[in-house]
Chains A and B, each alone.
Chain A
């Protein structure tokens, strides 16, 4: 038996020079310290993304992306297709868990300053993927063409018009016209299943190759431990096996959520019906949405809405560019300011999400 596998390996090896790859992976070590648990969340995000791709492709076999058929096709998936309800529920739940895992991954990278030189590009590709994840969530939300999604998309795209000059064109670009119609559905459908996955895959490849090449980052305060006291663990197979175990756990959580709290469909969207009560964006937009409500209608000469959007835009940009303005981390010192800023961001997001949830 051993012989058989060796033969297969040899066959591929003599064509692909596999020993280089195997040797390369074998040289990678994962640092072991009290913050090691955070190393797992990138892998969890990756796992959930893979699930999204698989379940997404499955849903595509039955879904019809037009305003007269979308709702009915999902009804069909949920009631006629065997396990259709399960596939859809998993897709919807995995989306939420994916964004949650990405949030955790991003913050752990931020607090451990893993973005610092030479990992700036890894951080940038990660942040772009994070924004894309939010865009996936937004574009996917409309696809069932139900009442809640329809009005949430109206609200979500209308917020854009607060941006000076380019806001209205952006809104019309997203809607495919002046109003949310079937054209909007076609557009967001195209984004959701073609444009975004394409860009995401490229970014993901760069991100993962860089992580493999540069290895795991060690938090700044652990860097000065003498070499013989540094604990590490081989990435292959020790860390990878732990990764896989965690993936299995996540899959179980996902299955429980999808089975016991299956995704709803609600009422079909009707452009000529009053909006239903309780329009809320998905939880990951809630903190922004809630903040916008607290900014007064007029601040000095600026409209509150405009101010809010500009502030969030600036904050996102600043966050994305942290490797370039946090000069001290590049030198191997951690700055208090960066830590406090991160803590502020975490607390802000949690508090406003909860307030928005209860409102």
Chain B
């Protein structure tokens, strides 16, 4: 301390940095755990690779149904010609769940009237992208669905 009772300039700057740095460090050590806590943990999702969509013999032609694939809904359709197709049922617009519309033979999203054809291509309304298609394999009478490689 000099005769005026002030700290010398360099000591003062040093203390300023020390206190400022300390404050930043303190704020960081409080905020980091806080934000980390708020961020939802990645659930150890059982990575599903395939799911069953029931028996073909019980699946009427010209109908569709929603099947769970892990946590996600899939839309499985039995076409009028008997062929089975599977798509992600999550609308590419804002995440609603789509359905098969028998009378129009399209995939329809009720939320904002989004339409997809039976190849999952977006043909009308707001959806910006086609629906992802899944692979369908038959194991005897059972319909199995898996992710496309």
User: Which residues of A come within 8 Å of B, CB atoms?
Assistant: 151, 154-155, 158-159, 169, 172-173, 175-177, 179-181, 183, 271-279, 293, 297
Residue on B nearest A177 in the bound complex, by CB? B40
Q: Is there an interface contact between B110 and A179, defined as CB atoms closer than 8 Å?
A: no
User: How many B residues touch A, CB cutoff 8 Å?
Assistant: 24
Q: Is there an interface contact between A279 and B68, defined as CB atoms closer than 8 Å?
A: no
| A179/B97 contact (C-beta < 8 A), A173-B39, A279-B111, A297-B128 known | no
User: Secondary structure at chain A's binding surface: helix, strand, loop or mixed?
Assistant: loop
Cβ–Cβ < 8 Å partners of B17 in chain A:
none
Option from A169, A176, A180, A276 in Cβ contact (under 8 Å) with B110 = A276
Decide yes or no whether B109 CB sits under 8 A from chain A: yes
Q: How far is the CA of A181 from the CA of B137 in the complex (A)?
A: 30
Q: Is there an interface contact between B97 and A274, defined as CB atoms closer than 8 Å?
A: yes
Q: Is there an interface contact between A279 and B71, defined as CB atoms closer than 8 Å?
A: no
User: Which residues of B come within 8 Å of A, CB atoms?
Assistant: 38-40, 43, 66-68, 71-73, 89, 91, 94-99, 109-112, 126, 128
Closest beta carbon of chain B to A235's beta carbon, Å: 42
Number of A-B contacts (CB under 8 A): 62
Option from A177, A276, A297 in Cβ contact (under 8 Å) with B43 = A177
Known: A172-B40, A173-B40, A276-B110. 7 other contacts (CB 8 A): A151-B111, A179-B71, A180-B95, A274-B97, A275-B97, A279-B111, A293-B126
Q: Is there an interface contact between B40 and A183, defined as CB atoms closer than 8 Å?
A: yes
Q: Is there an interface contact between B40 and A176, defined as CB atoms closer than 8 Å?
A: yes
Q: How far is the CA of A176 from the CA of B38 in the complex (A)?
A: 8
Closest beta carbon of chain B to A291's beta carbon, Å: 13
Residue on B nearest A154 in the bound complex, by CB? B95
Closest beta carbon of chain B to A341's beta carbon, Å: 30
Residue on B nearest A274 in the bound complex, by CB? B99
Option from B68, B96, B128 in Cβ contact (under 8 Å) with A275 = B96
| A155/B111 contact (C-beta < 8 A), A272-B73, A273-B66 known | yes
Q: Is there an interface contact between B40 and A159, defined as CB atoms closer than 8 Å?
A: no
Q: How far is the CA of A177 from the CA of B67 in the complex (A)?
A: 21
Q: Is there an interface contact between A271 and B73, defined as CB atoms closer than 8 Å?
A: yes
Residue on B nearest A277 in the bound complex, by CB? B110
Cβ–Cβ < 8 Å partners of A279 in chain B:
96, 110-112
**Sample (24) of A-B pairs whose CB atoms are under 8 Å apart:** A151-B96, A151-B97, A154-B95, A155-B95, A155-B111, A158-B94, A172-B39, A173-B40, A177-B43, A180-B95, A183-B40, A272-B68, A272-B73, A274-B99, A274-B110, A275-B96, A275-B97, A275-B98, A276-B110, A277-B110, A278-B110, A279-B96, A293-B126, A297-B128
